[in-house]
Structure 1
Amino acid sequence: MELTRRELVAAFLGSAVASSACKRGDAPLPPIPGAVVDRAVEVGHRLRGGPLPLAQAVEPVDVLVVGGGVAGLSAAWRLMGAGVKDVRVVELEAEVGGTSRSGRNGVSAFPWGAHYLPAPLEDKGPVARLLREMGAMTGVDAHGLPTFEEELLIQEPDERVFYQGHWYEGLYLRAGATPEDLAELARFEARMNAFAAARDAKGRKAFAVPTALSSDDAEWTALDALSMAQWLTREGFRSARLKWLVDYACRDDYGAMSEHVSAWAGIWYFAARQDGRGERSEGFLSWPEGNGRLVQQLASSLPPRAVERDVLAHTVTPGEQGCRVDALDARTGQPRAFQARQVVLACPRFIAAHVVEPWRRERPSWLGAFSYAPWVVANLTLSSSPVSRGFPLAWDNVFYESRSLGYVVATHQLLRQDERGPTVLTWYLPMTGADVKAEREKALSARYADWEALVMADLRPAHPGIAAQAQRLEVQRWGHAMVRPTPGFIWGPERRAAARSLGRHLHFAHTDLGGLALFEEANWFGVKAAERVLAELEVRSESWL
């Protein structure tokens, strides 16, 4: 059924945006050149079809990593660091990086997904090692805390929020807040500080980065059984502005509203990356291409021929001496096959269930526990920076009344804000409905013209002249962008069962194994899988975890 423009905007962005964007008398906008640029949906769905052709010739390899996202690249990076030379990475897409992938045009590099990394609180662990390798972490201060390249830390102004015609500083909407609203905010922040400072009898943080280092004491894990919204109600938090802030956090990191996010995960967002005194680490690290810069660093550790793109691995068959992996060249359709001593399968669980041959015959019991939120990311190139009312253009620009997350400015770190030069805005829309299948179908059914209308409907109320500045719009749909930490999932048995190696030759790595779709989780599980491979290959190397 064809929707009117108002109905389309209301369905995706909410009625407030539809009312603001679809006023009577608005002149039609000139079309913006652009396209929907993703293709993995069509290629990846070949896994659900009938039997695929098998190759006669088999290529031997010591370690095959299936999946070139952050987890797969992290596994290969770790293996190379231990001196394992015969490592191959195969990736379905034409570019590696998964949801940390980036793009570039004549104006700037820009992210296609994750766009920042919170500065680590410690100088140990694989993320800290990676940052040292790329020169982003420069050392430690007198207190033993890591220091970072100043130009990589997000410059001010870093955040603002748009509400009823004006921009305001920060993410919490203080304009018009009552004394009761502000008292609730202070009480909430105090609770989060207490959670951040909490330690168990073994000295472990109650909420740590990565999640694998968090305390498993029941005092904390019991929070996983209820939703974040239920926890807020139980603790007497009733402010609509605080509820908005918590919902924003859940949408930002988990692709869901607080009603569908575990309270443990919701608290983790506010507590894990601070020291218990209200300091949330030194800041955020970012580049014009977002976390694509981290992907480039991981990939640069591998020989050029070690990474093969446009390869659809469709069957992994474990055996006594290793695994056979059958694949297709995604460009030509020609079959290929690998015989690997060790395999790291670095893909989401819903794909692994289709790819691992024994799991086709017997559906894994844990599969139903995994839920994934679809996202849409659009990059809009402008001839000049957008004009704003109120607080000036920031790195992160959020719309209070929209279901989108607003946009980040790719050129923010280039110190060009005062020059009014061309820029790229990266716009984010998490599809947060409870029915993820329906949300996915809605996102994938929208045409380019629909996305053009939606992006401009979201931006024009805050930037009335932006249509004349728009030069090109490109849209990326992520059908399964983020694993959702639904109540009971983080500390439930299914997630842990899904992470176990299958025999001695097949190991798993992906951010969904940690329950949070974050760079630190993907990196941790990639390195962890690689260390299992090293143990099986009897390669001695000090742990990076």
Structure 2
Amino acid sequence: MDRRSFLALAGGAGAAALSAALFRRWLEMTPAVHYPGRAEGHFLRERGKLPAPEEVIETDIVILGSGIAGLSAAWKLEREGQRKVLMIDGPQPFGNAAGGRFGELAYPTGGHYLPLPSPESVHVREILFDLGIIERDPYGEKPYYDERSILHGPEERLLFNGRWQEGFIPTEGVSAGELGEHKRFFAEVERLRTLRGSDGRRVFVFPTVNSSRDPAFDALDRITLKDWLDQQGYRSPTLHWYLNYCCRDDYGTRYDKVSAWAGLHYYCSRWGQAANAGNGAWLTWPGGMQVVADKLAAASGVRRRAGTAVSLKRGGEGVEALCFTLEGGVARTTLVRARKAICAMPLYVAARVVENIGAYGFDAKRHTPSYAPWLVANFLMKDFPRELPHAPLSWDNVVYQEPGLGYVVSTHQDIRVAPPGKTVFSSYVALSDRTPEAARKWMMGASGDELVALASADLTSAYGWKFAACVERVDITLRGHAMAAPLPGFRSNAGLKALRDADGPIVFAHADLSGFSVFEEAAWWGVQAALKVLK
């Protein structure tokens, strides 16, 4: 969709009503576009010539990467009394947990929420309690959470057949037969949540390594979620759309590509409760997961340094990490020597950085996960556009279409007497309507106009041309390798298991070790890596 198409969405009468000044203002709006890690990644891929190190730093433990896994490792090390730690941030501080600001208004550029952790996720509850997000009874059935972190209502709505409705699965104007299938599916989810395999373990839990390995359930990882739905006789178009949306939202990938085990895990593993919130509640903040990342960094007290690792190898009695920064296209390098290293970077990067990674049992060609690309656009709104009736503006607002994932209102959690004068609408797009390779190629060549058109597609469906009149600025973040996609067979990936088990001068910590990108898994591998290097 180009900008001309964008304006035509309102039809001839709506477009004619726009003033010439409004047309010009929208046409002249240039988005700020960010490609986290692109310059460093291309430099790494092309092995640009690096100058000799300007500095040599000695430390006991070096953490390469400042995403949730790296931050969780630093937090655990501090809690165990280890403070001789250096963190090299990587190309973007906090990675997929990063955020940004329009003045006083914070917004997410990556993840924006966290489900209430289930009882098995002891590590997540321990972190949240230490950060003050859980206030009381962290290991009880229903912990008490900071009220400011619990998602306020109205929580979510769906634009379906031209009308807003509460919730994300279509119900209004849907046949009784389809509604019956909805009910049958969620009854099956409730059954699977408590089901245990022949080994006595629950089938779907966080961390996933503690899930049952009963062969009957491992078989779910050999088919896609769509295959499973078809086998179970689910024919409802609205149910299929909803489950496809959920896979795109959590994994960046369509349900006819995602492992059935992963697709069901999305629903069956999350059943955390709270003393001061209803079942299935979420934790969120105006700046998304950057709030948690900031708190983790502060709680760990870790010394951080800008830079990206270009090589990591054993050297002397420990490890050596050569790191670089790019300033105006000019590389500057630092050599870090440490007793041990925690490699907390995505595996497609680690495969190029860790010297002889094959010696760990990881074959980069066979074992590297497929990665889904994402686009996140933040629209600074000088006013709220006029809403359609039926359901009020909610925290998460989704349109019954693809590839958009709807938009989140960043000021939703603010407690105010009246609506704020300005707000931020954060639009998410998983480019799941094309292959990851085609999506990355499109991202590389797309103009600002094309990026804005795609990012605003759901918003223009909701508001028509009136949306443009409310926009003051646009900030777009493109993540070409946003998250590992759990395709069929991901649970039996021998290379991931080999890196999970690695225990020596170099250990690994990243959600990629589980095969998909969620907070619970990233935090788990960060904590496990910290325990290894403490030995």
Cα drift, residue 105 of structure 1: 1.8
On the 8 A contact 2:55/2:333 being kept in 1, the answer is no
Superposed displacement of residue 80, structure 1? 1.2
Deviations 1:9-64 (A, max 9, x none): 8xxxxxxxx89838567465443353103342122211112353342753211000
1:109 to 95, 106, 111: 106
CA distance in 1, matches of 2:387, 2:104: 21
Q: Is the 8 A contact 2:199 2:214 kept in 1?
A: no
Deviations 1:323-345 (CA, angstroms, capped at 9, x unpaired): 11112133352221111100001
- TM-superposed CA distance for 1:147, in Å, is 2.1
Tell me by how many angstroms 1:421 deviates.
2.8
Deviations 1:77-104 (A, max 9, x none): 11111111110000233x5211110112
Deviation at residue 494 of structure 1 after TM alignment: 3.1
- Give 1:176's aligned amino acid: G
Paired residues in the alignment total 517
Q: Match of 1:67, as an amino acid?
A: G
Residue type matched to 1:324 in 2?
E
Matched AA of 1:382: M
Match of 1:388 in 2: 387
Tell me the amino acid that sits aligned with residue 221 of structure 1. D
What is the alpha-carbon distance in structure 2 between the residues aligned to residue 100 and residue 451 of structure 1?
22
Distance 2:222 2:10 in 1: 42
Match of 2:474 in 1: 473
After superposition, where does 1:279-358 map in structure 2 within 5 Å? 281-303=279-301, 306-309=303-306, 311-319=307-315, 321-331=317-327, 333-358=331-356
Q: Which runs of 5+ in 2 are unaligned?
A: 17-22
Matched AA of 2:193: A
Tell me what 2:67 maps to: 69
Q: Let me know the Cα RMSD of the aligned residues.
A: 2.6
Moved more, 55-64 or 471-480: 55-64
Question: Structure 1 residues 282, 460: CA separation in 2 closer, same or farther (over 3 Å shift)?
Answer: closer
Distance 1:293 1:493 in 2: 35
Q: How far, CA to CA, are the matches of 1:396 and 1:56 in structure 2? A: 48
**Cα separation, partners in 2 of 1:66 and 1:504, compared to 1, 3 Å:** same
In structure 2, relative to structure 1, the CA distance for the partners of 1:151 and 1:474 (3 Å cut) is: same
CA distance in 2, matches of 1:456, 1:200: 45
Query: Which TM-score applies when normalising by structure 1?
Result: 0.89
Residues in 1 aligned to 2:75 and 2:439: alpha-carbon distance in whole angstroms: 35
1:353 & 1:363 partners in 2: Cα distance? 12
Aligned in 2, Cα 1:362/1:498: closer, same or farther, shift over 3 Å? closer
Match for 1:473: what amino acid? V
Q: Counterpart in 2 of 1:220?
A: 217
Rate the CA distance shift 1:388–1:151 in 2: closer, same or farther, 3 A.
Answer: same
Partner in structure 2 of residue 542 of structure 1: none
TM-score scaled to structure 2, two decimals?
A: 0.90
Which sits farther off after the overlay, 66-75 or 46-55? 46-55
How does 1:35-434 map onto structure 2 within 5 Å?
A: 35-50=32-47, 51-55=49-53, 58-93=56-91, 96-122=93-119, 125-140=122-137, 144-201=141-198, 203-274=200-271, 281-303=279-301, 306-309=303-306, 311-319=307-315, 321-331=317-327, 333-359=331-357, 364-365=362-363, 367-369=365-367, 370-389=369-388, 390-416=390-416, 419=419, 421-433=421-433
Structure 1 residues 32 and 109, CA gap change in structure 2 (3 angstroms) = same
Which stretch of structure 1 is more off in the superposition, 353-362 or 486-495?
Answer: 353-362
One-letter code of the match for 2:256? E
**1:140 CA displacement:** 3.2
* Counterpart code for 2:158: V
What are the equivalent positions in structure 2 for 1:528-543 lying under 5 Å apart?
528-535=528-535
The alignment partner of 1:117 has SS state of strand
- Segments of 5+ residues of structure 1 without an aligned counterpart are 10-17, 536-545
CA distance in 2, matches of 1:467, 1:433: 25
Q: Displacement, 1:72?
A: 0.8
Letter aligned with residue 373 of structure 2: P
Letter in 1 for 2:521: E
Report the 3-state secondary structure (helix = DSSP H, G, I; strand = E; otherwise coil) of the residue aligned with 1:323: strand
Cα distance, 1:75 vs structure 2: 0.9
Q: 1:274: how far off?
A: 2.2
Identical counterparts, % of pairs? 34
Question: What displacement does 1:470 show?
Answer: 0.5
- In structure 1, give the amino acid aligned to 2:238: R
